[in-house]
Amino acid sequence: MWIKTHEKLKELAVVTAKCRDEVNWLRIQQFKKGERIDFAKTGKEVYEKYSSYQILP
């Protein structure tokens, strides 16, 4: 039981890190283009991509 929970939490941590990295990458791209960084847009974009990903029941 503990190992199963540990694996799910580990997978959740990996997905969370990927999500955070993708948001940061999008924001860096906006910065490099000289655009204003749109925090709401980048967050929403990535949220919509990962919101269907379910690890925990």
pTM reported for the whole predicted model: 0.79
pLDDT at 56: 61
pLDDT in tens, 1-57: 778 888 988 988 999 999 999 999 999 999 999 999 999 999 999 999 888 877 666
Q: Residue 51, Cβ neighbours under 10 Å: how many?
A: 10
Instruction: Give start and end residues of each alpha helix (H) in 1-57.
Output: 2-32, 39-50
